[in-house]
């Protein structure tokens, strides 16, 4: 099943304004070291944002079904990229911090389900980049 298209319109330099199929807009730019102005996230940074967002949606939904009392969730990501073109991610590290009254075993299960079964972005990335995950639970 294909999804409705998105659009990118060049504005200047290496900056683009993107419009999603839902009508939402965002801007990307290349970093200064790559010839851009560094005024917005790069497309590759958005890949990491997509991974964090996809996992976040999964985790909140799974933990809710497990009747866990989540009061906060923060996911951060860093990635290492290949030295040669195409400069794909070759390793991604995620750190997940969940707050609330959350059972450790249930959280680990939710994290595994997201990474292995539900997160479409993780499924696409793991072919080129192992995803390493660290986590903590805060009450």
CATH number, domain containing residue 69: 3.30.300.20
Per-residue pLDDT of 17-73, as tens digits, reads 999 999 999 999 999 999 999 999 999 999 999 999 999 999 999 999 999 999 999
3-state secondary structure at position 53:
helix
Tokens of 36: 């851009």
CB of 29 closer than 8 Å to CB of 17: no
Whether residue 2 sits in one domain with residue 20:
yes
Q: Kindly state whether residues 34 and 60 are assigned to the same domain.
A: no
C-alpha closest to that of 43 among 55, 26, 56: 26
The rounded distance, in Å, linking the Cα atoms of 88 and 100 is 36
Same domain, 37 and 85: no
Q: Looking at the structure, tell me whether residues 99 and 118 fall in a common domain.
A: yes
Lookup: tokens for 133: 């995950």
> Would you state the pLDDT for residue 5?
84
- Residue 121 CA to residue 115 CA, distance in Å, equals 9
Average pLDDT, the chain: 96
**49 in the same domain as 13:** no
Average of pLDDT values for 108-127? 97
Distances (CA, A) of 77 to 5, 46, 84, 126, 131: 27, 11, 22, 14, 10
Same domain, residue pair 32 and 53: no
The DSSP output letter for 42 is: -
Q: Within this chain, do residues 15 and 49 fall inside the same structural domain, yes or no?
A: no
Count structural domains, the chain.
2
Same domain, 35 and 49: no
Domain with 28, as residue range(s), is: 1-41
Single pTM value for the model: 0.93
Residue that wins the pLDDT comparison between 10 and 127: 10
How far does CA 125 lie from the centroid of its chain? Answer: 10
């Amino acid at each position: 099943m294909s999804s409705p298209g998105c659009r990118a319109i060049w504005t200047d330099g290496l900056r683009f304004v993107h419009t999603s199929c839902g009508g939402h807009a965002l801007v990307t730019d290349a970093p200064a070291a790559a010839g851009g102005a560094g005024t917005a996230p790069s497309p590759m940074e958005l890949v990491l944002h997509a991974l964090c967002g996809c996992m976040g949606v999964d985790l909140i939904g799974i933990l809710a079904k497990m009747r866990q009392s989540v009061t906060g969730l923060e996911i951060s990501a860093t990635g290492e990229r290949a030295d040669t073109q195409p400069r794909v991610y070759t390793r991604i590290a995620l750190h997940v911090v969940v707050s609330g009254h959350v059972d450790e075993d249930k959280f680990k299960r939710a994290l595994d389900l997201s990474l292995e079964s539900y997160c479409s972005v993780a499924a696409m990335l793991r072919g080129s980049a192992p995803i390493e995950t660290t986590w903590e639970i805060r009450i």
